[in-house]
Amino acid sequence: MSLVANPVLPGCYPDPTICRVGADYYLVTSTFEYFPGLPVFRSRDLATWEQIGHVVDRAGQLDYDGIASSGGLYAPTLRHHDGVFWLVCTLVDQQDDGRGGNFLMTATDPAGPWSDPVWLDVGGIDPSIFFDDDSRVWMHGTRLAAQPQWHDQTEVWVRELDPDAKKLVGPEHVVWNGALRDVVWAEGPHLYKVDGTYYLLAAEGGTETNHAVSVARAASVTGPYEGSRKNPILTHRHLGAAADVVGVGHADLVQAADGSWWATVLGMRPYGGLHYNLGRETFLVLVAWEDGWPVFAPGLGRVPAEVEVPFAAQVRAGAAVSGVVHPGDLRWTSLRGPAAEFASPRGDGWDLRLRPSTLRDPVTPAFLGVRQQDRDVDVHATIRVALADGEEAGLAIRQSEDDHVRVFLTGPDAGRGSRVAVVRREGGVETTLGEVALGDEVAIRLSLRARGQDYAFLACLVGGNESVTVAVVDGRTLDSVSTGGFLGLWIGVYATSNGRPTTTTAHLESFEYLPSPS
């Protein structure tokens, strides 16, 4: 028996959905505006997860150019039936220009390639799919109630899907609007059939500290559904803001090969007060069945720091970044479009072609990043480039277009010579926090040293012995509690000409992500 550390996917891996095929488990999470979208993980023991691909990994599958931060891909559901993997998801477009909606994609290999999306004629968010044992297929999802009794009341709908035509057919059934009166956002619904009974799992309370998991059951897939008297069956909201994990919810169930039941849930680990810079992470919880109802974390009633998994192998951290992050690593992400538009692998790093667009723009700037997965971490980027006036290349920690921090090498502006600067963008307003003159140097090692909520930005000439601290930023100003949105932090490299035509290429010689022992 092995003790598995929670979270099993540290960093911003929210809205986990899981299924089992034979001895293998597969898991997908939301990615919002990041590309490639919807990472696919595989495990044999629910503890060690290997990323094997993405669902959205090529230009033309989806168009989310111009979609602002915390829009994009929300709450997927992954299922397997008769040799085919099915995934349904929502593309959220805050501009409401007709690109958003719910879609379905399929693949015979979860590593890809996945099909182009088939758009479903239904509104709302958080679609899910259920294959019944009578060969019928049922879609379900969440939307704001047509006739709400309270603010942000939602309803869960169920409707049959023709799997061949991939179209919704037959009548729609509204089956649920929350376990508790005045609850907001009964969302993330999933249907299951256990011992002849249909179970509807849903999240409630919004995906912040009031998040919770509730359950209902019925004799028919279309209801009527009876809520458990023990609802919510899992929540941390009663533990307060000082809990080690908050915001627990958005559960999905899976039965292991040995007959045991498990749930993946999201949650956040606050530090430095109620701030969770790592975002919403994926946790694992044991599930038991008593009197015809699921019991989450039996005997404990909360997400444990470690969970016993009898069939787990020797455990190592799942999907963690450590050491040099090579170009072939699947955890590299860009924004809204393929990195091939501006980057080419070279040795242990990349050639980044500067683009006129910046991190302020909701497009595809020249940015490559990875999730921050550790509270204490050192990140080093060695960059060699000859910049023109007004150009910059450097290291950034990103929350959104309006909230990020950059430490960068800049071109010889107005004869001042090259320099390293740290600029904080907060709520759309930019402030220079520090500068260091460099003369004519074109090779620099830029670093971020995060220790809790202290984010120090440093620079060192290549071949030099000492790093200079250019500025220190309070990380509490960067997380989604302070800025809004749904994302954890990304750390990456970028290169921009700040709106000017350019032919400059920056060479990222290496990128290191080094967790610091606590």
Task: Give the catalytic positions in this structure.
Answer: 15, 187
Q: CB–CB of 461/438 below 8 Å? A: yes
Q: CB–CB of 283/18 below 8 Å? A: no
CB contact set of 17 (below 8 Å; sequence gap of 6+): 27, 28, 29, 75, 76, 77, 78, 190, 252, 264
SS (H, E, C) 166-235: CEEEEEEEEEECCCCCCCCCCEEEEEEEECCEEEEEEEECCCCCCCEEEEEEECCCCCCCEECCCCCCEE
Q: CB–CB of 63/56 below 8 Å? A: no
Q: How far apart are CA 102 and CA 255, in angstroms?
A: 27
Q: CB–CB of 45/309 below 8 Å? A: yes
Q: Residue written as tokens 């898991």?
A: 27
Q: How far apart are CA 351 and CA 49, in angstroms?
A: 30
Question: Coil, strand, or helix at residue 379?
Answer: strand
Question: Coil, strand, or helix at residue 341?
Answer: helix
Sequence length of the chain is 518
Radius of gyration of the chain (CA): 23
Give how far the C-alpha of residue 461 lies from the chain's centroid of Cα atoms, to the nearest Å: 34
Joined tokens for residue 513: 């992500």
Joined tokens for residue 271: 């530090």
Q: What is the b/e burial string over 259-298, where b = at least 16 CB atoms within 10 angstroms of the residue's CB?
A: eebbbbbbbbbbbeebbbbbbbbbbbbbbeeeeebbbbbe
Q: CB–CB of 15/30 below 8 Å? A: yes
Q: How far apart are CA 172 and CA 93, in angstroms?
A: 25
Q: How many CA atoms lie within 13 A of 6 on its CB side?
A: 26
